[in-house]
Amino acid sequence: MLKKIIFALSFLIINTNVYSQDDLEILEPSYIKSVTLHAKKINAFTPIIRLGERIIFSFDDTEGDEKGYSYKLTHCDADWEKSNISSTEFLDGFNEDTIRNYENSFNTYQNYTHYELEIPNRNIRIKISGNYIISVLDSYGDVLFTRRFIVYQQKVDVGVSVHKARKVEDIKTKQNVEILINYPNIKINNPSEEIAVAIYQNNDWNNVITGVKPQYFRGSQLIYKYGNETTFNGSNEYLYFDTKDYRSSTNSIRRVELKDLYETRLYVNETRKSRAYTYNPDINGNFFIRSINAENTKLEGDYTKVHFIYKNYTALNKGESIYVYGAFNNWQFTDENELTLTNNGYFETDILLKQGFYNYTFVKLDADYNIDNTLEGTHYQTENDYSVFVYYKRFGSRYDEVIGYGIGNSVNLKN
């Protein structure tokens, strides 16, 4: 099962390209929790920074025994394969360093050690844009787990607009993304070969479209006005729960019990596939740690065992599985977030999560590792964020730069 989980991450919802990543994509062990990687900004959720900005990386070790962890950075190309350059070409300082900032929790039922670092720091500074992997190493120097992040420079302007799908059969269920790239201040000799774009929906690493070439050229503009090639399922709004006060029930939390830890039982989520669209404000699958019971949530925020219950009325085919899905576990598929069919006909699982506000949904993974993100329904009205990254590999260069970053939202469709 574990091999299936790791391999599944190489498959994309839209494009089914398989990346040969060796150790570049490793799931964290079960005792590593609350991994966050985001820009050092207010209300920042995503691991995207402009070159020179700071990014914050943190996680909890629930074994709570102050292990000696270190980290290293790897520069990748547009397809998340290791770049053919040395560390001195993309970093100033050491490529590997110790994580020195860690503290033990206190006043919590679940003991843990909280680790945190910022990049750049006095030992490491990133020199060039691109896709990056940060790897956490154990005391033996082996990679424990990894996370992706993207560093960009705004050398070109990227316009992103979201529209209804062009095909009549998709117009009520899908969204189409159009891109306009302006590059008046940079010389691009062969845009079709030197420029690549990646379009992410809600910054979900699995839900990305790549491989599309500029469709039209107009002076110093590249225009992408594809139909099916840049169309995503609208899917549905994310569900949510908030455990900032782990002792209270809410409109999404049915009951809270104190056993060895606090246990949070959510209301049953019945599949919304056959229901009409209903607007439900969300943060597009993200999460953030918070607590009203603690002054310092990093160290005093407690963990609660969250019990998910899902009612799906459609029988699964052989090899299909249902998962709780969201940024809280980096859009991954593990034994912990796989739901199990119980005797009463419900799909259930328990996940240990730190106090906070969480978005989640349910998706299906088939026997061929394809992800079905329409299990909860798919609507053109769904509010989604779209991030577009522009990669440039000029003739003779040995790495991909990220020379542009643009965002669009489907809240006001253009047609």
Map out the domains of the chain with their CATH numbers. Answer: 2-152 (2.60.40.10), 157-234+381-409 (2.60.40), 243-372 (2.60.40)
Q: Is the per-residue pLDDT at 301 higher than 80?
A: yes
DSSP conformation class of 300: H
Mean pLDDT, residues 77-87 taken together: 96
Per-residue model confidence (pLDDT) at position 15: 40
Distance (Å, rounded) from C-alpha 360 to C-alpha 280? 13
Of 150, 170, 277, the residue nearest 232 (C-alpha)? 170
- The answer to whether the beta carbons of residues 304 and 62 sit under 8 Å apart is no
Q: Where are the beta strands (DSSP E) in 262-355?
A: 262-266, 269-270, 287-289, 303-311, 321-325, 340-341, 347-354
Of 329, 323, 308, 326, the residue nearest 369 (C-alpha)? 323
Least confident of 24-33, 299-308, 400-409: 24-33
% of the chain with per-residue pLDDT over 90: 85
Amino acid making up residue 187: K
Q: What is the mean pLDDT of the chain?
A: 92
Distance (Å, rounded) from C-alpha 74 to C-alpha 95? 8
Per-residue model confidence (pLDDT) at position 14: 39
CA distances from 156 to 206, 355, 392, 404, 409 (A): 26, 40, 10, 5, 20
Q: Is the per-residue pLDDT at 21 higher than 70?
A: no
DSSP conformation class of 285: T
pLDDT, tens only, 231-270: 999 999 999 999 999 888 888 999 999 999 999 999 999 9
The helix/strand/coil state of 273 is coil
Mean pLDDT, residues 312-322 taken together: 92
Of 344, 235, 359, the residue nearest 306 (C-alpha)? 359
The helix/strand/coil state of 329 is helix
The helix/strand/coil state of 88 is helix
CA distances from 109 to 157, 262, 306 (A): 50, 8, 15
The helix/strand/coil state of 289 is strand
Per-residue model confidence (pLDDT) at position 255: 94
Give the contacts of 412 (CB within 8 A, at least 6 positions apart). none
Q: Is the per-residue pLDDT at 384 higher than 60?
A: yes
Farthest CA pair distance, the chain:
67
Distance (Å, rounded) from C-alpha 164 to C-alpha 166? 6
Distance (Å, rounded) from C-alpha 91 to C-alpha 86? 9
pLDDT, tens only, 337-382: 999 999 889 999 999 999 999 999 999 999 999 999 999 999 999 9
Per-residue model confidence (pLDDT) at position 330: 95
244 C-beta neighbours (distance < 10 Å), count: 18
Phi-psi sector, 13: left (phi>0), alpha (psi -120 to 50), beta: alpha
pLDDT, tens only, 118-175: 999 999 999 999 999 999 999 999 999 999 999 999 999 999 999 999 999 999 999 9
323 C-beta neighbours (distance < 10 Å), count: 28
CA distances from 348 to 112, 209, 229 (A): 26, 32, 36
